[in-house]
Copies of this chain bind each other. A is one copy, B any other.
């Protein structure tokens, strides 16, 4: 496609808009992520010599076009929402302005980065809301779609306020707190559960969570109590026990009662095993005495909505606004801005407008210029800043949109000027 564009001499300035269409299952918002990965890609875009040799080997490409690719860097500008911002259907979360071929060639990567990471951050935000203050740990690395996906899911979990991750590589890569876990195989390898617990507590006296369901949960809790008492004798405190199977609410109540009866009210209870926002909210509603949740697979793959309908549309070429018109897949023409109004500390409605019209009263713009001439205008934001932004955005989300049992439409309107522009573009092809 780019070779045809190149041959036709069509390399004027283009603007592409990246946005989401509709919402995933039970979703009412998107928590934006992947912008960081996208910017890193744009800043370092270059075909390697092995890329170029491969292209040559296909016999599909003109050597002069391959030379053009060899010299190509991303020289454009990017306007984007910040990671952690909540976005809604049809709102551009990123707009790329660059010579057409550069903007075309990055399409797949940008969609991949923003789509995947936004999908996972949205899931993580939903789980965070469901846990209502109980702590959360990411256990998703085993089932994520590859090691890189596991790391990026751990990063999303940290942005959503998870307290740690069992993925040490992600912890190292993104400066997240590592959270140790004990596997059933660890307990099995000792043969005696009590010995397995003792050995672990002796190694990590300050941070031991004992997995109590390898053989029988009730007996596991009794063994944990025995070890906790031994620890007390050494002036140490067992941190927690973990339940990983069975009916979690009654098991947690029994464990809580047994721990309390043994004078171990400070020992926390962690639950895990196929958890997500739905099961966590039920456990919270039942008032199960669970202090924290380990969340794995369903977070790392966003099990009930593993994809988001992201699109990357040409909205302007050579100064001329453009839009796709086929039924059900219309796109809004021209570079745009998204404005958000707030009332009494809650989001009150967004307006999608043309990029150059005057802002509506009392509304703040959500797209900011983050790259010009192929260079980032600021360094990557520390994760704490992104985490604080998402937390504040979630606090401002209207209560009905924060529900996770069904989609609830947040009001997004289109400015008069943008509606007029859309009609104009449509009439050209009528």
Contact = CB atoms under 8 A, between A and B. Distances in A.
A171 B141 CA distance: 27
A215 B429 contact: yes
Nearest to A182: B1
Interface string A1-15: 101110110100010
Contacts of A245: 326-329
A16 to B, nearest CB: 7
A7 B329 CA distance: 61
A4 B172 CA distance: 21
A306 B313 contact: no
B310 A246 contact: no
B145 A10 contact: no
A199 interface: yes
Interface stretch (A82-90, A185-193, A355-363, A387-395): A185-193
Contact of A104 (B150, B171, B172, B183): B183
A342 B322 CA distance: 59
Given A147-B112, A149-B145, A5 B183 contact: no
Interface stretch (A295-303, A373-381, A413-421): A295-303
A42 to B, nearest CB: 14
B111 A183 contact: no
A150 B55 CA distance: 19
Given A214-B325, A215-B326, A51 B172 contact: yes
A55 B172 CA distance: 8
Number of copies: 2
A314 interface: yes
B172 A54 contact: yes
A181 interface: yes
Nearest to A273: B329
Given A1-B181, A108-B141, 8 more contacts: A107-B183, A115-B142, A116-B144, A144-B145, A148-B149, A184-B324, A244-B326, A245-B329
30 contacts: A1-B186, A3-B203, A4-B200, A8-B190, A10-B189, A10-B190, A16-B185, A54-B171, A60-B180, A104-B185, A107-B183, A108-B150, A111-B143, A112-B144, A112-B150, A113-B146, A115-B142, A116-B145, A116-B146, A116-B149, A120-B145, A146-B146, A146-B148, A184-B324, A188-B323, A217-B326, A245-B326, A246-B326, A246-B327, A297-B307
Interface of A: 1, 3-5, 7-8, 10, 14, 16, 50-51, 54-55, 58, 60, 100, 104, 107-109, 111-113, 115-116, 120, 141-150, 152, 167-169, 171-172, 178, 180-186, 188-191, 199-200, 203-204, 207, 213-217, 244-246, 297-298, 301-303, 306-308, 310, 312-314, 317, 320, 322-329, 429
